[in-house]
Amino acid sequence: MDATRYRAPPADGLAIVPLDDLVAVFHRASGITHLVTSPAPELLDALADRWLTLDDLETEFELVGGDRGSLIAALDELAVAGLLEWR
C-alpha cells in the first residue's frame, strides 16, 4: 500500500500575510481568506506544488520521535479548508 501524500497549491496560488500571532492566507483559486497559526504557513510552504508523505514532512521539519498525530491533525485541517490535497 502506498503512503498518503499531501500537496499544497503553488506558492503563487496563495497570498500569505503575517498578522501578529495569526497569518492570513488568501487562496486565489477559491477567493477565500483563511486565518491560521503555526505550523500551517510552514506546512503550506513545504508542500507548495509538491507531493510529500508524512515521513518526508517529519524529515523536512526534523521531527524526531515527534507527535505524528499533531502533524496529521494540522494536515487534515488544511485539507478541510481546501488549502491542501491528499491522495
pLDDT in tens, 48-80: 999 999 999 999 988 877 678 899 999 999 999
| Buried-exposed string 7-23: b where 16+ CB fall within 10 A, e elsewhere | ebbeeebbeeeeeeeeb
- My answer on whether omega of the bond before 10 falls inside 30° of 0, hence cis, is no
DSSP class of 66:
-
Give the model's pLDDT for residue 35.
Answer: 97
Q: Quote the pTM value.
A: 0.92
Give the model's pLDDT for residue 67.
Answer: 76
Give the model's pLDDT for residue 86.
Answer: 93
**Mean pLDDT over the full length of the chain:** 93
Residue 25 has pLDDT above 70, yes or no: yes
Give the model's pLDDT for residue 63.
Answer: 84
Instruction: Give 45: exposed, middle or buried? Use CB within 10 Å, 0-12, 13-18, 19+.
Output: middle
Give the model's pLDDT for residue 48.
Answer: 97
The beta strand positions in 1-83, using DSSP E, are: 5-7, 14-19, 22-27, 32-36, 52-53
